[in-house]
Amino acid sequence: WTILGLESSCDDTSAAILRMDPRNCPEILALVTEGQEALHADFGGVVPEIAARAHAEKLDLCVSDALTVAGLGVDAVDGIAVTAGPGLIGGVISGVMCAKGLAIGAGKPLVGVNHLAGHALSPQLEDNVPFPYLMLLVSGGHCQFLIVHGPDRFTRLGGTIDDAPGEAFDKTARLLALPQPGGPQVEEAAKSGDPVRFAFPRPLLDRPGCDMSFSGLKTALLRTRDATMTERGGLTRTDRADLCAGFQAAMCDVLAEKTRRALAECTKRGIALSALAVAGGVAANKSIRAALEGVAAKSDTRFVAPPLRYCTDNAAMIAYAGGLLLMDGQRDGMDLSARPRWPLDRSSAPMLGSGR
């Protein structure tokens, strides 16, 4: 099965072509991604209308580039997979329309993919990670623990009750007048900082379970910043570095402790995990990776983190997730709709392929 995948749910327009291999990792023949950072730079965040327009303009180009890179015509494709939600609805609609056009034009089967399922399955793009495994999805818009039992079977163990970690990193950068996206900037600044000079809270550690909260961290940063500015009449480079280091250390502690609990919960339920995996843009953070790796090592669990190009939004993970569904016989018709919200867990909502 050769699959063409499309992703356009946030601010990356992406097309990928991969060849599924039932016994091994897929072969990624092409991955073409057009970011929109420059378009949104003046607004301090992603503007949905601008994003939707850019996706509509760039999707065709990404598809034809991907086909060129793979050296294939669209006839050689066996199926088309597209992110059908959750995400910014204008972008998702652009992707779904483009995929429908291709599917009709070339007479190929179509399948809508849950963006979160794409992330959750991304560890299998390059590593042999058998089901079930525990996934911590930690990105600009999401933060949750999922037991991944199969391509369309997930159990959510908990997640953030307010902001996502990436959002908190971005906000921190904004408050310290560092450029966007904030994560890499905060990580860089934290390198030379003192993580214990400022006391940051560790939200929800006093409560049982795997739920997390990050909005308090953001507020703590704002308050500490203002207090330091008032005291000293401004922020030095060292102040900034110490603030970043303190914030990041709190983030690491919370994610590590909650991961420990999620692993313990799996043991309690008698689920033999093949690995702890992490994905999403925040998984790029080396301190967070190291903290999670430490937790995995302590519980004798394998730790897997996909390379960065598969951690952030990309069409390869969508093509792969869609490929698994297509090989399983799942299909969507021309009534496939774009969904702004689409929870993954069966127990909290209808699943992948609802309406099918």
Instruction: Specify whether the CB–CB gap between 84 and 113 falls below 8 A.
Output: yes
Answer yes or no: is 114 a known binding residue. no
Confirm or reject binding of residue 170 to ligand ATP (CB under 6 A).
yes
> Which of the listed partners (ligand ATP, Fe ion, none) does 48 bind, with a CB threshold of 5 to 8 Å by partner kind?
none
- For residue 127, say whether it is annotated as part of any ligand binding site: no
124 binds, among ligand ATP, Fe ion, none (CB under 5 to 8 A by kind): none
Would you count residue 166 as binding ligand ATP (CB under 6 A)? yes
Tokens 């056009």 locate to: 101
- Residue of 118, 141, 193, 306 interacting with ligand ATP (CB under 6 A): 141
Q: With both helix axes pointing from N to C terminus, report the angle between 182-190 and 165-175 in degrees, rounded to the nearest 10.
A: 70
Q: Counting beta carbons within 10 angstroms of the beta carbon of residue 74, is it exposed (0 to 12), middle (13 to 18) or buried (19 or more)?
A: middle
CA neighbours closer than 13 Å in the CB half-sphere of residue 309: 13
- Best CA proximity match to 79, nearest among 7, 19, 15, 2: 2
**Residues of this chain that bind Fe ion (CB under 5 A):** 313
Of 22, 106, 107, 91, nearest to 57 by C-alpha is 91
Residue nearer to ligand ATP on the CB measure, 132 or 183: 183
Question: From Fe ion, ligand ATP, none, which one binds at residue 7 (CB under 5 to 8 Å depending on kind)?
Answer: none
Q: Which of 267, 332, 336, 323 is nearest to 17 (CA)?
A: 323
Q: Is 90 in the site for ligand ATP (CB under 6 A)?
A: no
Question: Under rule CB under 6 A, how many of the chain's residues touch ligand ATP?
Answer: 20
Residues near ligand ATP (CB under 6 A): 10, 139-142, 166, 169-170, 181-184, 187, 280-282, 284-285, 312-313
Binding site residue list for Fe cation = 115, 119, 313
Binding region for substrate: 137-141, 170, 183, 187, 285
